[in-house]
Structure 1
Amino acid sequence: MNKITKYILGIILLCTYTLQSLQAQTVYTVQIKEEIGPNAWRTMKNALAKAKESKANYFLLELNTYGGALNFADSIRTSLLNEKSFQSIVYVNNNAASAGALISLAADYIYMHAGASLGAASVVNQQGEIMPEKYQSYMRGLMRATAEAKARDPKVAEAFVDPAVSIPTLKEDGKLLTLTTSEAIKIGLAKKEVNSENEIFSDLQIKEPKVTAHQLTWVDYLIAFLINPLVSGILIMGIIGGIYFEMQSPGIGFALLIAIICATLFFAPLYLQGLADHWEIAIFVLGIILLALEILVIPGFGVAGIAGIILMLCGLAFSMVANDYFDFKLTQPGLLMNSFIIVIGAMVLTIVLMVIFGRNLLESSAFKKLVLEDEQRSDIGYTSSMTKTNLLDKVGIAKTVLRPAGKIEIDQVWYDAVALDGFIDAGEQIYVEKHENYNLFVRKLSEKNS
């Protein structure tokens, strides 16, 4: 290679380096100012994907949280640790407690606002009570591993969780460690005290950064609304109420449509958030099938009906919490019980409302406009039990399956009837045993003869 060629290559390399140095560095920013849960994890997941797509040089997370669910905090932590395409920054403004401390330790740089705090990461339940040692041990391991991955002091990280860890210069023995901004900077955990993002850019010598802030979409807001426990409870009521009306009123399609819509609105956002899994939706559907078989096919009420109710309960409750099949160790303590309380409470309330208002609703003119049912005219054999009161001991035939309610025919006239035996198959001969409140109560004729 001659000298001229070397000079040309040198000039090209110099120009390339100069252009790269002059090129503005890009920063993708996102804020989490809420409890660490499914919404925070969805926001972070989308923001990280957008940052990679935009080929950002830095990813800045502005954090202000008192903690949250360990499983979602661990997901965020893992994503930050595994990301190599950009450098990560956590700006604590103003709190990074518990799950927030774990996330902060996973960043390449930690900056803290004046008056901010970081630490106190013991695992607690919904009432704020300290959970047993197995939870604390797991959290200590996560904190140590995260600190070591970013070349930070694992003892400090462990002291956030374990009051037995002794660091006399920072805390009293027997107390959890919570660091102020100045303390975190003094021990090298935080890089600097700042009051704005621009001060962070200046400290990292990011000149004229091209900043892109993460924006939430209407889908994000809708999902956040739908997974609210109160809204989830209302949707469960819609599911149960729709199924109840569908089974009580043969031929009605609107009630089933309501149940399907409510089930979709219940499961879809939970599925997108990574909570509901295929198997949880499957056992809920299986529960409905078993319950329907018990009511419509199998006489009486037994194993299939009870199993159906249990599967429906479990399918709904399990979908509201994070789990690995039946392993709930990463679920926020107490959250599974709360889910069952929400589901059972919504079911009980629905049943109470159906008993009180169900008949009036079915017979209301507004509901009948939405019902797909045939007109039962007298010229084709239909009549009301009110028009015939002298039917005791009359013999007829079951025109539909009575389980226990259905249709019978006596003297070529159809009536609504209830089987006192619990189940009478279509085509069997029956006789009227009693007549109360405009209802005919019948038994199989074979039982009378016997």
Structure 2
Amino acid sequence: MHKLCTAILFHLLLFAAAVSVRGAEISAREEAAPYAGATVYLLPIREDIMPATVRQVTRCLEEATALNASCVVIDMNTYGGVLDAADSIRTMLLDYPAPTIAFINNQAASAGALIALAADSIYMRPGASIGAATVVDGSGAVMPDKYQSFMRSMMRATAEAHGRVPSAERGDTVWRWRRDPQIAEAMVSPSTAVPDLTDGTQVVTLTADEAIAWGFCEGKASSVEELLALAGIDDYTLYEYAPSWLDRFIGFLTNPTLQALFIILIIGGIYFELQTPGVGFPLVVAILGAVLYFAPLYAEGLAAHWELLLFLTGIVLIILEIFVTPGFGVLGILGIVAMITGLAFALIDTALLRYVPTGELPVSVVLGPFLIVIISAGVGLLLSIWFGNRFLRGKSGLRRRVVLVSDMKPADGYVSVAADRGLTGREGITSTPLRPAGKVVIGGRHYEAAGDDAAFIGKGIAVIVTRDENGILYCRKKEV
């Protein structure tokens, strides 16, 4: 009996050891290939960060979620772009549940650095760089320091979002930032000093090797395939985002230059329609400009219903000022303010406005679109006035097409009807029945006539003219 128990115990221990070894083997394989049979979604970003890029990233993440992708790889090469668009993408990446990998395929500057920093992992191509995130204006000039504060806070917060990792130092475990927030801030502010990296006299831009050394990069790769191999993703299916023609078209329409042109068309069309009512073509141009301006912004999620309604309200107020209360008073001023406000706020991601009162968001983010709209509207108005004076005055060919300029001269047969032709009290004969309108003959000449008080008078009846009004002789039957 004792031998039987010993044998059973031995076999149980042997079975447990086998199971343990088997489990260790499985665990080791899973650790070596955590993405076995993975679905990888690839999103290329190789242009400036614009509102269209936000739409592109949104659709990509939605498709990746639908495919149950194991990870999303962002293949990026960008020199920056619009700050609020970059912040929207940053937030989406930080909140995305699946792992995200940024592949800096040459450059991740300015807004691109913010987006790359939001990814869970960063890989860089040899010769690539990340940093130089100082806020600049449209001409490339560095904005004052107060405009850098929002970018500095975003870079710090994004770095801190990746938390701390343990490291062994002299036998002790020390928790350090995975991405050093101070280095992230130094990418924006030249005055931020980082020991052994910068003395606080220049903005930080890291090469691939420097980024690896300072914990801002997991490794170097020359291609997406090499990146996936370094990340331990060997068995995978790769899906690459392909923008539709609609995405490309919307991205084209949201170009700032075209947006300014659409504003010029809107203002010019409204101006000419008010100058030449009834022509129609200027109104069509204004409507087309408004559709091309608001539609892509609405599709991008920037423009909302209230902004379009505010713009239309402004137009109605201006029309009321011109045609109902002539002059230029309160309605006209309110109309102009409403139009400019509606056009400007359509360019702003209203979700960011909550940061303005706290001072985290530079006021330039709000004032910039207003300045663009005001300048574009001013240019549109000046061009409209110049165009009107140049082509709708005198005897220009365009003026002859839209304005009646012909002179109706007596020599050409155009003769006005005299107010009183001296025919009142004259007798005549109806040449047609008057029912009540018809014709009468007086002194051998035919005249337009009508029965007095709309009375019916037959043909060939003697009549007397009672009055002559507007070229018509009003007649009554002659009493015998």
TM-score over 0.5 for the alignment? yes
DSSP-derived class of the 1:298 partner: coil
Instruction: Calculate percent identity across the aligned residue pairs.
Output: 41
Which of 66, 69, 75 lines up with 1:56 in the alignment? Answer: 69
- Assess, with a 3 A threshold, how the Cα gap between structure 1 residues 206 and 308 changes in structure 2: closer, same or farther: same
- Assess, with a 3 A threshold, how the Cα gap between structure 1 residues 54 and 309 changes in structure 2: closer, same or farther: same
Q: Could you tell me whether the CA contact under 8 Å between 1:65 and 1:97 is conserved in 2?
A: yes
Which of 116, 121, 133 lines up with 1:121 in the alignment? Answer: 133
Query: 2:341 matched to which residue of 1?
Result: 314
DSSP-derived class of the 1:122 partner: coil
Q: Which has the higher Rg, Structure 1 or Structure 2? A: 2
Cα deviation, residue 233, structure 1: 3.5
Distance 1:179 1:390 in 2: 91
Distance 2:337 2:418 in 1: 44
- Assess, with a 3 A threshold, how the Cα gap between structure 1 residues 330 and 90 changes in structure 2: closer, same or farther: farther
Q: Could you tell me whether the CA contact under 8 Å between 2:150 and 2:362 is conserved in 1?
A: no
Q: Could you tell me whether the CA contact under 8 Å between 2:120 and 2:162 is conserved in 1?
A: yes
* Structure 1 range deviating more: 324-333 or 149-158: 324-333
DSSP-derived class of the 2:148 partner: helix
Distance 1:389 1:66 in 2: 76
* Structure 1 range deviating more: 265-274 or 228-237: 228-237
Query: 2:390 matched to which residue of 1?
Result: 356
- The residue type paired with residue 37 of structure 2 is A
For structure 1, list consecutive stretches of 5 or more residues without a partner in the other structure. 369-377, 379-383, 392-409, 414-450
Correspondence 1:338 to 2:372: yes
Correspondence 1:274 to 2:301: yes
Query: 2:80 matched to which residue of 1?
Result: 67
Q: Could you report, residue by residue, the CA deviation over 1:82-112 in whole angstroms, capped at 9, with x for unpaired residues? A: 111x210000111111111111111111000
- Assess, with a 3 A threshold, how the Cα gap between structure 1 residues 241 and 141 changes in structure 2: closer, same or farther: closer
DSSP-derived class of the 1:190 partner: coil
Query: 2:446 matched to which residue of 1?
Result: none
Correspondence 1:130 to 2:142: yes
Query: 1:262 matched to which residue of 2?
Result: 289
Q: Could you tell me whether the CA contact under 8 Å between 2:102 and 2:119 is conserved in 1?
A: yes
Q: Could you tell me whether the CA contact under 8 Å between 1:125 and 1:332 is conserved in 2?
A: no
DSSP-derived class of the 1:173 partner: coil
Q: Could you report, residue by residue, the CA deviation over 1:170-216 in whole angstroms, capped at 9, with x for unpaired residues? A: 22332111101100011221011110001111111212311111011
Which of 167, 183, 197 lines up with 1:156 in the alignment? Answer: 183
- Assess, with a 3 A threshold, how the Cα gap between structure 1 residues 159 and 198 changes in structure 2: closer, same or farther: same
- The residue type paired with residue 129 of structure 1 is A
Query: 1:412 matched to which residue of 2?
Result: 470
Aligned residues: 368
DSSP-derived class of the 2:75 partner: strand
Correspondence 1:177 to 2:235: no
DSSP-derived class of the 2:76 partner: strand
Cα deviation, residue 362, structure 1: 6.1
- Assess, with a 3 A threshold, how the Cα gap between structure 1 residues 120 and 245 changes in structure 2: closer, same or farther: closer
Distance 2:363 2:57 in 1: 19
Cα deviation, residue 159, structure 1: 1.5
Cα deviation, residue 23, structure 1: 6.0
DSSP-derived class of the 1:76 partner: helix
DSSP-derived class of the 1:212 partner: strand
Which of 50, 60, 85 lines up with 1:47 in the alignment? Answer: 60
Q: Could you tell me whether the CA contact under 8 Å between 1:321 and 1:339 is conserved in 2?
A: no
1:395-406 to structure 2, matched below 5 A, reads none
Query: 1:215 matched to which residue of 2?
Result: 242
Correspondence 1:34 to 2:92: no
Distance 1:109 1:389 in 2: 90
* Structure 1 range deviating more: 295-304 or 213-222: 295-304
- Assess, with a 3 A threshold, how the Cα gap between structure 1 residues 335 and 117 changes in structure 2: closer, same or farther: same
Correspondence 1:142 to 2:169: no
Query: 2:258 matched to which residue of 1?
Result: 231
Q: Could you tell me whether the CA contact under 8 Å between 1:124 and 1:333 is conserved in 2?
A: no
Correspondence 1:105 to 2:132: no
Cα deviation, residue 289, structure 1: 0.4
- The residue type paired with residue 140 of structure 1 is R
DSSP-derived class of the 1:93 partner: strand
Cα deviation, residue 330, structure 1: 7.0
Cα deviation, residue 70, structure 1: 1.7
Query: 1:79 matched to which residue of 2?
Result: 92
Distance 2:366 2:344 in 1: 14
Q: Could you report, residue by residue, the CA deviation over 1:139-175 in whole angstroms, capped at 9, with x for unpaired residues? A: 2221111111113211211221222322232223321
Query: 1:406 matched to which residue of 2?
Result: none
Cα deviation, residue 358, structure 1: 4.1
Distance 2:196 2:35 in 1: 45
- Assess, with a 3 A threshold, how the Cα gap between structure 1 residues 307 and 208 changes in structure 2: closer, same or farther: same
- The residue type paired with residue 133 of structure 1 is D
DSSP-derived class of the 1:172 partner: coil
Query: 2:429 matched to which residue of 1?
Result: none
Cα deviation, residue 259, structure 1: 2.7
DSSP-derived class of the 1:195 partner: coil
- Assess, with a 3 A threshold, how the Cα gap between structure 1 residues 309 and 339 changes in structure 2: closer, same or farther: closer
Cα deviation, residue 313, structure 1: 2.8
- The residue type paired with residue 137 of structure 1 is S
Q: Could you tell me whether the CA contact under 8 Å between 2:146 and 2:362 is conserved in 1?
A: no
Q: Could you report, residue by residue, the CA deviation over 1:380-411 in whole angstroms, capped at 9, with x for unpaired residues? A: xxxx9x866999xxxxxxxxxxxxxxxxxx96
Cα deviation, residue 135, structure 1: 2.6
Distance 1:358 1:320 in 2: 34
- Assess, with a 3 A threshold, how the Cα gap between structure 1 residues 97 and 361 changes in structure 2: closer, same or farther: same
Q: Could you tell me whether the CA contact under 8 Å between 2:77 and 2:108 is conserved in 1?
A: yes
For structure 2, list consecutive stretches of 5 or more residues without a partner in the other structure. 1-11, 164-178, 420-467, 472-480
Cα deviation, residue 68, structure 1: 1.7
The CA RMSD measured in Å over matched residues stands at 3.5
DSSP-derived class of the 1:176 partner: coil
